[in-house]
Amino acid sequence: GEKPGLTCALDRGSLGFPFGAQLPHSFLISPPVVKRRLVKLVVNFLFYFRTDEAEPIGALLLEHCRIAEEEPSVFSISFIEEPDRKYYFECSSEEQCQEWIDALRRASYEFMRRSLIFYRNEIQKMTGKDPLEQYGISEEARFQLNTHQA
């Protein structure tokens, strides 16, 4: 069976690649609706646009979500709050699909927070000093490993 969906072209510029490069992708959702869209990843938001408009018509906040490879050139995004609803993306190649999976997994605040804590601890081990101390934020709860932000 063919998957219902929403076809998109992704702007790689927001992923840290040269601006202006357009890549074909398909963005598939349930219920079965097929529409051509452009999508752009900006920090932890995946914005989507009509092909003939400059303003986004919506966005997915990439927090508390799961990004999974479904097939060699297809991945999905699902959210903890709505586990039965999946957004499917079809890429033109397996390599392109892996690039997007990696970029989307790195886009969340939680990933960035864990990375900051990891590197903070590594620097502290090497230098004996807390690198966040100079900014007066070393005691903030969001920078503590055992604290979970809602």
User: Whose structure tokens read 């408009």?
Assistant: 53
Between 141 and 101, the more confident residue is 101
126 in the same domain as 56: no
pLDDT at 3 over 60: no
pLDDT of residue 145: 64
54 in the same domain as 114: no
Nearest CA to 40 out of 28, 23, 52 is that of 23
Query: How far is Cα 75 from Cα 41, in angstroms, rounded to an integer?
Result: 15
> What band does 122 get if pLDDT is binned at 50, 70 and 90?
very high
Residue 30 near residue 5 (C-beta atoms within 8 A): no
76 in the same domain as 23: yes
Is this structure's pTM higher than 0.85? no
136 in the same domain as 91: no
60 in the same domain as 79: yes
As a three-state string, the secondary structure of 2-31 is CCCCEEEEEEHHHHCCCCCCEEEEEEECCC
Query: How far is Cα 58 from Cα 12, in angstroms, rounded to an integer?
Result: 18
**Averaged pLDDT score across all residues of the chain:** 74
Domain that holds residue 39: 6-107
In a domain, 149, yes or no: no
Residue 11 near residue 24 (C-beta atoms within 8 A): no
> What band does 11 get if pLDDT is binned at 50, 70 and 90?
very low
86 in the same domain as 52: yes
How many structural domains is the chain composed of?
A: 2
In a domain, 79, yes or no: yes
Helix (H) or strand (E) holding 109: helix 109-127
